[in-house]
C-alpha cells in the first residue's frame, strides 16, 4: 500500500520531467578569465565553460553559448525566461531573483594600481579617499562600490578597457581578481609587473543561475540535480584539480580547493 502511494506521488513529477525541452534554454556568459573567456584563437574557454559544455552534452543540448557585456547579460537573465547565466555572484539582493543552480567558484575582490603607485593602503577607507576606481558596468563590484563608496567609481565597458585606462593613468585603481587581471594583461601584451595589488576588499561565491519566471521551477530543479550529480563525479574532481594546477603554475597568484569549490 505504501509503495503504491509513493508511486502515485512520483508519477506526476516524472511525467512532467519527461516533457522538459532543454533545447529551449539559452546559455549566456561574460568574458572574464579564468571562469569564462575568449582565448587568443577566438574560442570560448574557461573553468565554468567546461562545466556548462559537459552539462549540455549530458542533456543533449545543442544551443551555442552567447558571450555578451556584463550589463546586457544581467539584463537578459533578469528579464527573459529559460536563460542560464554563468557565472555570477550570490548576494542577498539577488537571492530571490534567480534559481541558484550550482556554486562553482569563490574569488577575492582585489583593488589594483599601476606598479609605481604610492598610495596609503593601511585601510580600505584610506586607500579609496579621493581615488577613482574602475568597475565594469552591471558587475556586482559596481553595485558594491555604489553602496559602500558612492561617487568613487567609474563605469567601464570591459576589463580590456579597464586595464588600458589604469596603465594610462586615467583611473587610479581597477577592481578585479587575480587571474582575470593577469590573463587580461597577457592578452593585451603587458607584463604582470606593470600592476600591483593594493587591497583585498572582500570575496564572493560565484554560481551558475537560471532566470526565474512562472513555470520555471521544474526546469531549474532538473538542472540543479544534474549539476549536483556532476559535482559529485570523478570528472568534476579531476576538472577542478586540473584548473587548480593551471592557475597555480603561472605563479601569478594562489588558488586552492575548499569543499570541492575552486577558490582564488
Q: Domain ranges in the chain? A: 18-107+204-263, 108-203
The partner residues of 109 in beta bridges, in order of sequence, read 202
Per-residue pLDDT, 263 = 94
Q: What is the pLDDT of residues 154-181, one digit of tens each?
A: 999 999 999 999 999 999 999 999 888 9
Per-residue pLDDT, 81 = 97
Residues 215, 141 contacting (CB under 8 angstroms): no
Q: Is the pLDDT of residue 186 over 70?
A: yes
Residues 78, 189 contacting (CB under 8 angstroms): no
Q: Supply 66's cell numbers.
A: 552567447
What would the CATH number be for the domain defined by 108-203?
Answer: 3.40.190.10
Q: Is the pLDDT of residue 7 over 60?
A: no
Average pLDDT over residues 49-59: 97
Per-residue pLDDT, 250 = 64
Per-residue pLDDT, 5 = 46
Q: What is the pLDDT of residues 89-118, one digit of tens each?
A: 999 999 999 999 999 999 999 999 999 999
Shared fold status for 18-107+204-263 and 108-203: yes
**Whole-number percent of the chain with pLDDT over 70:** 92
Q: Supply 34's cell numbers.
A: 579564468
Per-residue pLDDT, 180 = 87
Residues 173, 163 contacting (CB under 8 angstroms): no
Of 140, 168, 143, 142, the C-alpha closest to 156 is 142
Average pLDDT over residues 213-218: 96
Q: Supply 91's cell numbers.
A: 548576494
Per-residue pLDDT, 154 = 96
Strand segments, DSSP code E, in the chain are 26-29, 37-38, 44-45, 65-67, 83-89, 98-114, 133-136, 153-156, 173-176, 195-211, 256-258, 261-263
Select the CATH number that applies to the domain covering 18-107+204-263 from these four: 3.30.1490.390, 1.10.40.30, 3.40.190.10, 3.30.70.980.
3.40.190.10
Amino acid at each position: 500500500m505504501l509503495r503504491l502511494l509513493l508511486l502515485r506521488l512520483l508519477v506526476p513529477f516524472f511525467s512532467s520531467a519527461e516533457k522538459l525541452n532543454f533545447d529551449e534554454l539559452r546559455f549566456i556568459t561574460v568574458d572574464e578569465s579564468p571562469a569564462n573567456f575568449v582565448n587568443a584563437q577566438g574560442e570560448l574557454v574557461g573553468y565554468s565553460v567546461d562545466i556548462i559544455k559537459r552539462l549540455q552534452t549530458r542533456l543533449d543540448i545543442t544551443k551555442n553559448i552567447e558571450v555578451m557585456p556584463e550589463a546586457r547579460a544581467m539584463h537578459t537573465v533578469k528579464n527573459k525566461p529559460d536563460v542560464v547565466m554563468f557565472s555570477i555572484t550570490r548576494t542577498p539582493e539577488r537571492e530571490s531573483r534567480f534559481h541558484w543552480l550550482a556554486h562553482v567558484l569563490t574569488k577575492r575582490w582585489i583593488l589594483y594600481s599601476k606598479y609605481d603607485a604610492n598610495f596609503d593602503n593601511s585601510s580600505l577607507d584610506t586607500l579609496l579617499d579621493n581615488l577613482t576606481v574602475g568597475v565594469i558596468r552591471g558587475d556586482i563590484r559596481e553595485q558594491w562600490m555604489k553602496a559602500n563608496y558612492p561617487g568613487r567609481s567609474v563605469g567601464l565597458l570591459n576589463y580590456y578597457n579597464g586595464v588600458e585606462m589604469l596603465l594610462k593613468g586615467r583611473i587610479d585603481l581597477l577592481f578585479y581578481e587575480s587571474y582575470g587581471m593577469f590573463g587580461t594583461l597577457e592578452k593585451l601584451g603587458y607584463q604582470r609587473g606593470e600592476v600591483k595589488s593594493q587591497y583585498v576588499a572582500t570575496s564572493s561565491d560565484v554560481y551558475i543561475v537560471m532566470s526565474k519566471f512562472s513555470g520555471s521551477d521544474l526546469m531549474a530543479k532538473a538542472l540543479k540535480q544534474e549539476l549536483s550529480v556532476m559535482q559529485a563525479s570523478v570528472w568534476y574532481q579531476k576538472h577542478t584539480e586540473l584548473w587548480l594546477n593551471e592557475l597555480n603554475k603561472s605563479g601569478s597568484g594562489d588558488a586552492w580547493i575548499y569543499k570541492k569549490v575552486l577558490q582564488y
